[in-house]
Amino acid sequence: MMRTNLEMKNGKITKDEIQQLSLGNIRVKGKAKYFNGKNWGEVCTTIDAYITQKDFAKYQPHNIKLNGFCYNNPNVSTNMIQEKANYKAYKTAIAKFKPSYKNISDKQAESFVHGFSKKREEFNFKTGVYCFDAVVTLLPYELELQKPKKIYKTSYKSKSKESTHTKNGLKVTFYPKHDFNFKHPIYTTTLERNLWLKNKSFLNYKLKANSIYQVKIDGYISFDEDVEYLKLISDVYNAKIKIDGKVVLTDRKTTTKVQLKGGHKYKLSIYVKTSNSYDISLLAKNLQGDQYITVGLENLYQ
């Protein structure tokens, strides 16, 4: 299978890529026969090749039924519930067929779905629970394709930040509690989830309980839509958040008005003094949003 990936930003191509994906199904009965061809140095072969019904079934659409599927996330605004519920349904169906794919991103899950239908939809405005029956159509062979080989790639250099730093997650570095200049790192890791980190322990063989650390979290942040407000929830000794080098939130200034354009990546730096766990959360909303939404992994990049 050939898969293309063309990305554009502000009317300019930032990525043009073609991938070749293959899944071996052709079987050979008996031994291959080899003989010399008519031309000098030419070697030819004859094989008895075939494919089984089980192999062939991998290329036929497969329907996964989700009866009484429900979605509830208090951090998702009402106008986004349906979209987020669809993504969750995609991933649930894929995980039923291929459990190892349970942690793929929303966009990856969407790329595997070739049909999606719903019925008996119900939304409870009091509890925020959205339920429905769904049928998700997958092509089994796509879920067996491993490590696609890039056979052609054209890179387009851009001065904007959108063309770099595409790995999700944030870089986290721990320093001694009096290292205010962040010159003596103790331990570095990657934060591979959203910024809802209430009671999220980071203790390990290098970081000890009841010890105070300076923590620096670096990366980039981006949103699909414009964001007008940010909110910080924290229970640490102190916290500070910078965007593009400017302090926007602290443990004393917990809400602020911003102008973050959708589709643009901004430099994000978070400084925390804490022990045992992060105990922080970053939330965002736009003017049309009726509540704050937790900043998710899809918005964070290294």
pLDDT on residue 227? 87
Contact predicate 205/279, CB 8 Å: no
Ranges under pLDDT 50 in the chain:
147-153, 155-165
Burial label for 25, CB within 10 Å (0-12, 13-18, 19+), is middle
What kind of fold does domain 165-301 have according to CATH? Toxin - Anthrax Protective Antigen; domain 1 (3.90.182)
* Residue pLDDT, tens place only, 229-286: 898 888 889 999 999 999 999 999 999 998 888 878 899 999 999 887 778 888 888 7
- Given this model, what pLDDT does residue 155 score? 47
Residue 195: the pLDDT is: 62
How many Å is the Cα radius of gyration of the chain? Answer: 25
Strands, E assignment, 162-224: 170-176, 187-191, 213-221
**Nearest of 296, 251, 250, 243 to residue 268 by alpha carbon:** 243
Residue type, 269: S
Which pLDDT does position 66 carry in this prediction?
A: 92
40 three-state secondary structure: coil
DSSP assignment of 45-96, as one string? EEEEEE--HHHHHTTS-EEEEEEEEEE--TTS-GGGHHHHHHHHHHHHHHHH
CA dist., res. 270 & res. 274, Å (int): 12
Per-domain boundaries in the chain: 1-22+145-163, 62-144, 165-301
Burial of 33 (0-12, 13-18, 19+ CB in 10 A): exposed
* Angstrom distances, CA of residue 107 to CA of 3, 140, 299: 15, 18, 13
Q: What pLDDT is recorded for position 23?
A: 61
pLDDT in tens, 41-67: 899 999 999 988 888 887 789 899 999
pTM score: 0.47
Q: Which of 266, 243, 267, 239 is nearest to 253 (CA)?
A: 239
Question: Which pLDDT does position 163 carry in this prediction?
Answer: 43
